[in-house]
């Protein structure tokens, strides 16, 4: 069965990624955003705290 050119390009890109070495998990997670790691960590912590507050408020006001 013939392979599609797109499939071959994908396999080559994957092979190049493994040849480059391991990329830190933060680089994979944050992608190509132009912010520092410390700033992105603070943003993620703030989002998680806000989510926890909203969840807590939902539980408290949901019993009324």
Specify the pLDDT at position 25: 74
* Cα–Cα dist 11/27, whole Å: 21
Q: Are the C-beta atoms of residues 41 and 25 closer than 8 Å to each other?
A: no
H or E segment at 45?
Answer: helix 37-62
Specify the pLDDT at position 5: 72
Best CA proximity match to 43, nearest among 56, 33, 32: 33
- The stretches in the chain having pLDDT less than 70 are 1-3, 14-20, 30
Q: CA of 30: how far to CAs of 9, 11, 33, in Å?
A: 24, 23, 6
Specify the pLDDT at position 54: 96
Tokens of 28: 């994979």
Specify the pLDDT at position 33: 72
Specify the pLDDT at position 41: 87
């Amino acid at each position: 069965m013939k392979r599609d050119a797109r499939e071959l390009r994908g396999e080559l890109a994957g092979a190049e990624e493994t040849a480059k070495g391991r990329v830190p998990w933060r680089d994979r997670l944050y992608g190509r955003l132009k912010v520092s790691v410390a700033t992105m960590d603070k943003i993620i912590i703030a989002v998680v705290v806000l989510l926890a507050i909203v969840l807590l408020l939902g539980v408290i006001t949901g019993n009324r």
